[in-house]
Amino acid sequence: MEEKNPADKQHPASGPEQYIQSVTIAVEGLHDEARALQIEAALRAKHGVESAVVDTNTERLKINYDVRLVHVPDLHETILRTGYKPSADDEEIGPTIREELEHEQDEL
């Protein structure tokens, strides 16, 4: 059975959970718990973000978001506004996220 892209409006989902995806983003230099809480709060305040959890030990941020409302470049921009930089290491963001980032840049 072919897996459907939840953002594809041609294929309606069976429920809102079909539109929720998860991404893990490495964030350079994120060791401080207080700053981690600020980043989590900034992301959760963004319309379409279900959850955001920082692991300061691994410097990674796991975000669950609605693909209809927010895109990975939007998440990166929110992280940048908190004073931190998402990792530029392609292996950490994975091929799907890399393709989405490239597509967003092509549209600009």
Q: Which two tokens stand for residue 98?
A: 């890399």
pLDDT tens for residues 62-72? 999 999 999 99
pLDDT tens for residues 83-103? 999 986 544 444 445 555 565
pLDDT at position 5 is 56
Mind listing the domains of the chain with CATH numbers? 16-107 (3.30.70.100)
Encode burial over 76-93: b for 16+ CB neighbours within 10 A, e otherwise: bebbeebebebbeeeeeb
